[in-house]
Amino acid sequence: MQGGALFEFDGNFVGMNLFSNMERPIFLPRDIIFDRLNHFQTSMEKIIFPMLLKSVRHRKRLTGVELHSYPEGSTSVNTFGEQFGDEYPTGVWGKFKKEVSSNISEIVVAVASFHGETKFFACTGFFINYDGCPTILTSASLVRDPDGANEIVSSLRIEVLLPNKDHTVGELEHYSLHYNVALVSVKNYNVDCPKLKCELMRYCGTVVAVGRCFESGILMATSGEFIHDCDEESIDSDCEYFSYTTCRTTKVVIGGPVVDLDGKFVGINYYDTKIGTPLLCFIDICEILDDLKTKKAMIGGHEGRLKNDDGPPNIWILPA
């Protein structure tokens, strides 16, 4: 019984058995145990913390990515199941014409990547007409290595939850880690999807951010105002091509579309913990995708660049 736990009849923990081969068993009371454990934890933190800090600084210097820790008890890279806004077709969905909200619901999907049976990342995506084929535009965080600035995690399996609630296999076609966008294809699925218009548009009214949860399949949306100027020091990325909205969202929205009330597609959603919801406008996405197409790019980071963007790789902080 040495080392075993000692309990009262009502289940309360009393202490740990030390010796049982005596007339009266001796045990270590729980108060002393907890005190010693706290001492060990504090002592180890004094030793380990500087080592961890040195390791993080080294990786940050190598990768250019600021590393965030994941929530205690999490079993995968993210827990992207939080709902936001209004479920389809209630609330803000009533601001659209019926055919507009229906069209949006038919092209927005949920996407997740898996390492074996463990979920690696989950986000939203939506079908666009890419080179004449329905292709899912989404976030490259789906495959981005959280410990590397411009690398993907190999051997990930991609699964797509379609609007009809069917699950199907997705295949990574192209990606740009510089702008954090990716294209995923699926087989044997036809949908009337929008063609991106490469025209300069200045939005000044209400826009709507849309996302779909991978676990439940629930389609969500919330409205906000388009922001033209923001404090660059308060954001979690150094991508200078971002615009912003005041839409209050959760991480589910990453990779989903931003639309105006006429149903015109404005851009693709990202997520920021400090200021609104970032988005990359479609005029820039069009140029990035055209560059991918022109180069017939092999899968690899940094492919697909805007003409005037010759700066260093953008820093992207994966949400914790």
In the DSSP assignment, the letter for residue 316 is B
Count other Cβ atoms within 10 Å, centred on residue 123: 29
Nearest-angstrom CA–CA distance, 268 and 265: 9
Distance CA 56, CA 76 (A): 20
How far from the centroid of its chain's Cα atoms is residue 288's Cα? 21
Give 6's pLDDT tier (boundaries 50, 70, 90). Answer: confident
Give 86-300's CATH code, choosing from 2.60.120.310, 3.90.1150.10, 3.40.50.10800, 2.40.10.120: 2.40.10.120
Please provide the DSSP assignment of 134-154 as one string.
Answer: EEEEEEGGGTB-TT-TT-B-T
- Give residue 236's pLDDT band: very low, low, confident or very high (50, 70, 90): very low
Segment 99-103 long-range contacts (CB within 8 Å, at least 24 positions apart): 100/262, 100/263, 103/192, 103/263
173: three-class secondary structure by DSSP? strand
**Non-local CB neighbours of 40 within 8 Å, separated by 6+ positions:** none
Q: Which amino acid is at 102?
A: S
Looking at residue 195, its pLDDT comes to 67
CA distance 307 to 284: 10
Is residue 256 scored above 60 in pLDDT? yes
As a dihedral over the C-alpha atoms of residue 141, residue 315, residue 280, residue 114, rounded to 10 degrees, the angle is 0
Tokens 């990325």 locate to 237
pLDDT at 48 over 60: no
Query: In this model, does residue 61 exceed pLDDT 90?
Result: no
The predicted pLDDT at position 87 comes to 96
Selection from 53-62, 74-83, 163-172, 311-320 with the highest mean pLDDT:
163-172
Q: Find the Cα–Cα–Cα–Cα dihedral 173, 280, 126, 288, rounded to 10°.
A: -30
Does the pLDDT at position 154 exceed 70?
Answer: yes
pLDDT digits (tens, 9 = 90+) for 261-291: 988 888 999 887 666 688 888 888 888 888 7
Residue 27: beta bridge partners? 17
pLDDT at 24: 58
Q: How many residues does the chain have?
A: 320
User: 138 has which bridge partners?
Assistant: 125, 182
Q: How confident is the model at residue 21 (pLDDT cuts 50, 70, 90)?
A: low
Task: Tell me the backbone φ, ψ of residue 56, rounded to 5 degrees.
Answer: -65, -45
With a CB cutoff of 8 Å and minimum separation 6, the contacts of 60 are 66, 67
Q: Across residues 289-312, what is the average pLDDT? A: 57
Report, as an integer, the average pLDDT of 113-128.
Answer: 94
Identify the pLDDT of residue 221.
97
- For residue 284, with 0-12 CB atoms within 10 Å meaning exposed, 13-18 middle and 19 or more buried, which class applies? buried
Return the SS3 of 282.
Answer: helix
Does residue 29 contact residue 14 with C-beta atoms inside 8 Å?
Answer: yes
Give the residue extent of every domain in the chain.
Answer: 4-55, 86-300
Per the prediction, the chain carries an average pLDDT of 75
Sign of CA dihedral 132, 136, 142, 148: positive
